[in-house]
Amino acid sequence: MKFKAVKGTRDFYPDRMALRNYLAETWRKVSLRNGFVEFDGPVLEYLDLFSVKSGDEIASQLFSFTDRGGRALAMRPEITPTLARMVNAQINALPRPIKWFSLPRLFRAENPQKGRLREFFQWNIDIIGSDSVLADAECIFTAIDCLREMGLSAEDVVVRIGSRPLTVAALRLAGVNDSAMETALAALDKRPKVSPDAFAEMAVAAGIPANSLDKLCEFQDAKNLSAVTASLGGADADSAAEIAKLESLMGYLDNMGVGDYCKLDLRIVRGLAYYTGIVYEVFDAAGDLRAVAGGGRYDNLLKLFGGPEVGATGFGMGDAVLEILLAEKGKLPDLSAGLDCFVIDGDGNLLDKVLEAVGRLRRGGTAADFSAKRQNVGKQLKEANRRNARYAIILRADGIGVKNLATGEQTGVPIGEFLENPSAYMI
Amino acid sequence: MKFKAVKGTRDFYPDRMALRNYLAETWRKVSLRNGFVEFDGPVLEYLDLFSVKSGDEIASQLFSFTDRGGRALAMRPEITPTLARMVNAQINALPRPIKWFSLPRLFRAENPQKGRLREFFQWNIDIIGSDSVLADAECIFTAIDCLREMGLSAEDVVVRIGSRPLTVAALRLAGVNDSAMETALAALDKRPKVSPDAFAEMAVAAGIPANSLDKLCEFQDAKNLSAVTASLGGADADSAAEIAKLESLMGYLDNMGVGDYCKLDLRIVRGLAYYTGIVYEVFDAAGDLRAVAGGGRYDNLLKLFGGPEVGATGFGMGDAVLEILLAEKGKLPDLSAGLDCFVIDGDGNLLDKVLEAVGRLRRGGTAADFSAKRQNVGKQLKEANRRNARYAIILRADGIGVKNLATGEQTGVPIGEFLENPSAYMI
């Protein structure tokens, strides 16, 4: 009988688990120092919750089922609907802005591809209750703070920043009316992923007049804000305000010391309908991989889920693409941490003393182990090395030897003295 | 439109999340210092995997469904089958003993009760590849090391230790034959939870002769190992060996300094059929709650899942009962950690400098925030207090004031000097 893991899921053997923990701990550390607090919801939610934001077709991309009470449940494919549900339930008790993060385990009933799995982890950062561009800047800074903490420089990654309202304005100018807006946005979102011909075909099918495509591409390809204004044929008051927001945003990010990671790029549209302001995606600088992270402002979120009209902005960063990128850039950390010490029975008949020492060391916070196999000193030392122990503590009836396994240096200490303060002998 | 969480699941608002993280971090810290390394598997496994150990009836207690490829999948209700699958897949590459732990998120399609939820977390400790009682002692020590780390003393919790082979021997003596053994064990397992009359009825229905019940109860209630021997009418060689194991175990636990937490208790049987040796459960001393943890030796595990015959022992500790117990004993830690500092615009026109300072502080590892609301100093200080900041950093054009928010003490420092080494001013 042979059992296998389900396709698109991962077995986290200790090496791989150490990497997963490194990502989670770095995400958590960076979130906290940026003033966010952690939340999580259940993996299982009522299926309805997920169609609010993403439409009924989302059901086909979910693992869902009916429970014994006849209720349709689903495994969450994202945390944002849960965030909206939870914030709405406490909206009057929560001081604003609400700065929350989470590290949810998520599920998608898709065919797995490179960087896209059926079970994965995602870092989510959200600020709710602020209309200020400062909140968008905070989120983008936090994403960059994490990437830099992981060793990725502005040579490695780039945050491409666009604007949903400006893109909508450009589409209106191009003659797209509001009823076709959602499909037109979806077509623009796909432009960077397809050939110019394929894009043209897709765009026309989505209701964008063929004769306005050049103008739209000029808008999307604008290299700076004055080129954006020009491509809109001068900006009306609303567009001017959106352009001013992008200008403020870039200034804030410069002030915070991360301007070099950021680039204006109106080709960034984001697939989902619900974005309402600045949008962005993080890519490897070479552009070989899927987006590492993506987000933006979605001021209608809480209202969509039955709550008040409140400003909201945030992003998600998945573990799968990030891991590929870190590996490609040689930035996976050395995670081979081992034991502080391995306690060795030097005389072969001191099990009681070994157990006493191990018990006291562990209770005092020292990572200690011993050989349950009852073997000779040489073999015990070998096990100590295999376990990556920093020190071997060799017990004998008349005292102990503390051996530094990296240098081979050994010091003799009376056992009682050692156990009083073991860290003094293991530096 | 109102959305609710699914019954038996939990919303982890930040306070509750901090507690969940405290449990997970303590479990992880204690595991590592006891020489275990972490693994995890997927939440979704093929349904078949779960019936191997627990029989087909387990399917009714699982969230399961058929995926688009027609395969029956289930959300894991426990990690042990995954452990067996993963270890078997690498059995020749893994040095033994294999000391692994995990902190899985688990799911049960049950009606929720106090301390029993449909979605929960569990700490799992396993040692695979050792037949020695030392391995059992290690697991029990690790459970106690955790409970003590969380502030629970031998007055608060007790590890009740039994023996599956001795219980089987007692049942054989009582005239139960092997074909009825599993149901008889299940009946004995329930004895502590029901009245004597209900137990008698249950036991007889399970195939235990009525006239041997007194003798069986005498065995289960034995207070020490010689009473156990006596209740078995003297022990045969096999039983004598099992009694010697219990004696060694108790000696090891004494040597490791945790004997006071441990108690011989042959009423501990464990529900599942697959245990083969020493078994134990951790209870609150008052005995008011469900078991906090339970485990034992299960030497047939790997073989059951298509692998070799290898010794194995371990336990699981869930979060729900543990949380109730810690709350009852007043041992929930203070988790209201806040920011290191809150940066305040003291002149009202220094946003650039505020952002620069916040950016530098965060990148240097300091948890820093500021008010995105652009309000007066008094209101900013109020926000600093609400956010539990230890220090307010009040920026002015001519320097900064570092204010300790606990003492009210304030120091003036030039801004450059502060940013060079902020921790020197925030002790």
Nearest to B225 by CA among B210, B206, B239: B239
Write the CATH number for B196. 3.30.930.10
Same domain, B353 and B311: no
Angle, CA of B131, B135 and B138, to the nearest 5°:
175
Distance CA A388, CA A391 (A): 9
**DSSP per-residue string spanning A351-390:** HHHHHHHHHHHHHTT--EEE-TT---HHHHHHHHHHTT-S
For chain B, say whether A109 makes contact (Cβ under 8 Å). yes
> Residue B399 is part of which domain span?
341-425
Instruction: Out of A37, A75, A359, name the one closest to residue B141 (CB).
Output: A359
Hey, are the CB atoms on A119 and B386 less than 8 Å from each other? Answer: no
Which of A328, A351, A376 is at the close of a domain?
A328
Minimum Cα–Cα distance from A140: chain B residue: B359
| Residue A46 with chain B: CB contacts under 8 Å | 3-4, 6
Q: Residue A255 and residue B141: Cβ atoms within 8 Å?
A: no
Closest-CA residue of chain A to B350? A255
Inter-chain Cβ pairs, chain A and chain B, closer than 8 A:
234
pLDDT at B1 over 70: no
Share the mean pLDDT of chain A: 95
Rounded to 5°, the CA angle B82-B134-A340 comes to: 80
A positions 247-266 inside 8 Å of B (CB) = 252, 255-258
A59, pLDDT greater than 90: no
Is there a domain that residue A213 lies in? yes
The H-or-E segment that residue A401 falls in is strand A399-404
- The answer on pLDDT for A58 being more than 90 is no
- Min CA distance, B262 vs chain A (Å)? 15
B91 and B113 share a domain? yes
Tell if the CB–CB gap between A39 and B68 is shorter than 8 Å: no
- d(C-alpha B55, C-alpha B52), whole Å: 6
Residue B307 in contact with partner chain A when CB distance is under 8 A:
no
What is the C-alpha separation between B100 and B97, in angstroms, rounded?
9
Same domain, yes or no: A396 and A297: no
Query: Quick one: A368 and A323 in the same domain?
Result: no
CA angle A354, B135, B171 (to 5 degrees): 130
Q: Which residue of chain B has the CA closest to A335?
A: B37
Asked if B362 has any chain A CB less than 8 Å from its own CB, the reply is yes
Residues of chain B with Cβ-Cβ distance to A105 below 8 Å are: 43, 105
Residue of A nearest to B101 (CA): A14
A344 half-sphere exposure, CB direction, 13 A CA radius: 24
The pLDDT of residue A52 is 86
Mean pLDDT value across residues A7-22 = 96
Closest chain B CA to residue A340: B33
Instruction: Note which residues in 175-204 of chain A have CB less than 8 A from chain B.
Output: none
Please check whether residues A18 and A134 belong to one and the same domain: yes
A134/B42 Cβ within 8 A: no
Burial class (CB in 10 A: 0-12, 13-18, 19+), B56: exposed
For residues B224-248, average pLDDT: 95
CA–CA–CA angle B169, B225, B221 (5° rounding): 70
Per-residue confidence band for B235, with pLDDT thresholds at 50, 70 and 90: confident
Nearest chain A CA: its distance from B240 CA (Å): 22
Last residue in a domain, options A328, A363, A393: A328
Q: Over the stretch A306-355, which tens digit does the pLDDT of each residue have?
A: 999 999 999 999 999 999 999 999 999 998 778 999 999 999 999 999 99
Residue A355 lies in a domain: yes
- Residue A195's contacts (CB-CB under 8 Å, 6 or more residues apart) are none
Mutate: best of A355, A369, A426, partner B, most B CBs <10 A = A355
**Residue B297: its H or E element:** strand B293-297
- The per-residue pLDDT for B162 is 98
Say yes or no: B137 and B177 in one domain.
yes
For residue B336, being part of any structural domain is answered with no
- Chain A partners within 8 Å of B2 (Cβ): 306
Chain B residues within an 8 Å CB radius of A352:
255
Crossing angle for the helix pair A237-255 and A164-173, to the nearest 10 degrees:
150
Structure-token match 């997963």, residue found: A20
Domain assignment present for B73: no
A48: chain B residues, CB-CB within 8 Å: 3
B377, part of any domain: yes
ipTM > 0.90, yes or no? yes
Q: Where are the alpha helices (DSSP H) in B129-195?
A: 133-149, 164-173, 181-190
Residue A281 pLDDT greater than 60, yes or no:
yes
Q: How confident is the model at residue B274 (pLDDT cuts 50, 70, 90)?
A: confident
Neighboring chain B residues of A362 at a CB cutoff of 8 Å: 33-34, 141, 145
Do A324 and A406 belong to one domain? no
Q: Is A403 on the interface with B (CB under 8 A)?
A: no
- pLDDT, position B59: 82
Q: Could you give phi then psi for residue A203, rounded to 5 degrees? A: -65, -45
Verify that B404 and B293 share a domain, yes or no: no
Classify residue A140: in a domain, yes or no: yes
Most B CBs within 10 A among A102, A253, A363, hence the mutation to make, goes to: A363
Domain assignment of residue A112, yes or no: yes
B122 and B175 in a single domain? The answer is: yes
Q: Is the peptide bond before B192 cis (omega within 30 degrees of 0)?
A: no
Hey, what are B348's tokens? 């009202």
Q: Is residue B253 part of a domain?
A: yes
- Can you name the residues that pair with A119 across neighbouring β-strands? A107
How far apart are the C-alpha atoms of B26 and B210, rounded to whole Å? 47
What does the pLDDT average to over A6-35? 97
Given A328, A360, A395, which residue is the final one in a domain?
Answer: A328
Cross-chain CB nearest to A14 (options B37, B75, B360): B37
Q: State the nearest Cα–Cα gap between A196 and chain B, in angstroms.
A: 34
| Closest residue of chain B to A147, computed from CA coordinates | B363
pLDDT tens string B304-358: 999 999 999 999 999 999 999 999 999 999 987 789 999 999 999 999 999 999 9
Mean pLDDT score of chain B, rounded to an integer?
95
Which whole-number Å values give the CA distances from A284 to A60, A259, A321, A324, A328, in the listed order? 30, 16, 10, 10, 10
Residue B373 phi, psi (nearest 5): -85, -10
Q: Cα-Cα-Cα-Cα dihedral of B210, B211, B214, B217, to 10°?
A: -50
Q: What is the pLDDT of residue A80?
A: 96
Q: What domain count does chain B have?
A: 2
Residues A377-387, mean pLDDT to the nearest whole number: 96
- Both B351 and B314 in one domain: the answer is no
Q: Which of B255, B300, B301 would best serve as a mutation to test chain A binding (most A beta carbons within 10 A)?
A: B255
- Taking CB atoms and an 8 Å cutoff, what residues of chain A touch B67? 63, 109
- Chain B, 366 to 385: residues with Cβ < 8 Å from chain A are 366-369, 372-374
Q: Does A93 touch chain B (CB under 8 A)?
A: no
Domain shared by B350 and B264, yes or no: no
Q: Residue A416 sits in a domain of what CATH number?
A: 3.40.50.800
Distance (Å, whole) CA A330 – CA A325: 9
pTM of the model: 0.96
pLDDT score, position A1: 55
Q: Are residues B245 and B357 in the same domain?
A: no
pLDDT per position as a tens digit, A158-180: 999 999 999 999 999 999 999 99
Q: What is the pLDDT of residues B62-73, one digit of tens each?
A: 999 998 889 999
Q: Is the CB of A423 inside 8 Å of chain B's CB atoms?
A: no
Interatomic CA distance for residues A425 and B122, integer angstroms: 36
In 3-state terms, chain B is what percent helix, strand and coil (to 5)?
45, 20, 35
